[in-house]
Amino acid sequence: MLLIITNQEDIHPNPVIDILIQRNIGFFRLNTESLFTHYDVTYEISLDKKYFEISYKDGSHSINSDQISCVWERRPCEPLATYDPFENKEISKLLLDEGDGFLKFFRYSMDKLPWIGDAILERKAGSKILQKIVAKDIGFSIPKTVFTNKIKDLDLFESEEIAIKPISAFGLEKDEQNSFIFYTTKKSKKEILKAGEIGFRNTINFFESYVDKSHEVRVTYIKDEAFTVSINSQSFEKDKGGIDWRQGYDHGIAFTSIELPTDIEKKCVEFLNYFGLMFGCFDFIVDKEGDYHFLECNTNGQWMWIEEEAKLPISTKIADVFTEYALEKAK
């Protein structure tokens, strides 16, 4: 049986679940924000036993440690309380934190099982610094990269144009009406210098040499198969997908299925093997000469939009992986 760990708003598991139902492959979906409101949990550990069971409070469905064949961690979030039983925010937060702590430790306790979205390994694999080092070591071309809080480090770049990227922040949200996403931006050294020293010493900046693009490529790699699309980002203005293709969703940016060069695919496999992962979404820039430049790998990336736009059977491949492990477990 497959254990899916995510949240109730996550639609990515749905097409995979539909396929598993058709194949009569068992699954259990744990929406972590509803841990206290929808699930009963027991985890027993003794000298001769390690056993857990999670069930819906209505008794309709359950899973235990003896049944699990594979774990798929998608997008879990912190547990939520539907009310404040103690009318004390500090105590309620402590209880929620305890539940969140259990979820983390619970996931870590299943480290011997096959995973897509491994909770432990992904913490290391998510390091953008380590990703650049590993990519360089296995032979990917990478843009010159500098993490710094010193303004004079701009001199490390020979190129005048520099890409500015977030290290880990996704964006800012003041309220529902006031929020924005941190996209990659392109600036000249002169423009960056205008920020002055104060713009450097209060954070660590993530800079890359800007690569003049022909197009971009997204590779969704699942166990032993690559699903690759070309992205026509250079058909759009810089703030509508030309710099960061994610800004092109509302402007007609196109995703076309292509074959990934064999040498690039081999390096993708080597990259994932280094981190012990079987899933990753790779982003590349392809320059005017046709050379691939590694940008990053999102080890738990989104893919439904690729499946829909480029008609790629990604959901089927993921279901195939889970079916394989379920059948092995049943032997």
| Distance of alpha carbon 102 from alpha carbon 93, whole angstroms | 14
Per-position b or e across 65-88, b if 16+ CB within 10 A of its CB: beebbbbbbbbbeebeeeeeeeee
200 and 91 within one domain: no
The reply to whether 309 falls in a domain is no
Read off the pLDDT of residues 163-219 as tens digits, 9 standing for 90 and up. 888 887 665 555 556 555 677 777 888 888 887 777 777 889 899 999 888 899 999
Residues 151 and 264 in one domain: no
> Is pLDDT of 239 > 80?
no
Number of domains within the chain: 3
The average pLDDT across 125-136 equals: 96
Q: Which of 181, 210, 239 is the last residue of a domain?
A: 210
Residue 14 maps to a domain? yes
Q: pLDDT-based confidence at 235, cuts 50/70/90?
A: low
As beta bridge partners, residue 258 has 228
Instruction: State which residues form the domain around 76.
Output: 2-117+319-330
Residue 56 above 60 pLDDT? yes
Same domain? 9 vs 103? yes
Residue 156 is assigned to a structural domain of this protein: yes
In tens, the pLDDT along 76-114 reads: 998 887 666 667 778 888 888 898 999 989 999 998 999
**First-to-last CA distance in the chain?**
13
**Domain contains 308:** no
pLDDT at 160: 85
Q: What is the pLDDT of residues 11-42, one digit of tens each?
A: 999 999 999 999 999 999 999 999 989 999 99
Span of 75-89, 217-231, 270-284 with lowest mean pLDDT: 75-89
User: Would residue 305 count as lying in a domain?
Assistant: no
Output the domain CATH number for residue 268: 3.30.470.20
Same domain, 247 and 168: no
87 and 36 co-located in one domain: yes
101 shares its domain with 25: yes
In a domain, 312, yes or no: no
Same domain assignment for residues 13 and 98: yes
- Which of 210, 241, 267 delimits the end of a domain? 210
Residue 313 lies in a domain: no
In whole angstroms, give the CA distance from residue 308 to residue 241: 19
Q: How many CB atoms lie within 10 A of CB 143?
A: 18
pLDDT digits (tens, 9 = 90+) for 304-324: 989 998 999 999 999 999 999
Q: Which two tokens stand for residue 320?
A: 């195939």
Judge if 109 and 226 occupy the same domain: no
pLDDT value at 241 more than 60? no
Any idea what the Cα angle at residue 283 is, between residues 281 and 287, rounded to 5°?
A: 155
* Same domain (yes/no): 131, 86: no
Specify whether 132 is located in the same domain as 155: no
Q: Among all chains, which residue has been given the structure tokens 């390690």? A: 50
CA–CA dist 15, 27 (Å, integer): 13
Q: Where among 192, 210, 228 does a domain terminate? A: 210
In the block, which residue shows the tokens 């396929």?
19
Kindly state whether residues 135 and 170 are assigned to the same domain: no
Residue 294 belongs to some domain of the structure = yes
Residues 8, 51: one domain?
yes
In the chain, % of residues over pLDDT 70: 89
Q: How confident is the model at residue 251 (pLDDT cuts 50, 70, 90)?
A: low
3-state DSSP assignment of residue 61: coil
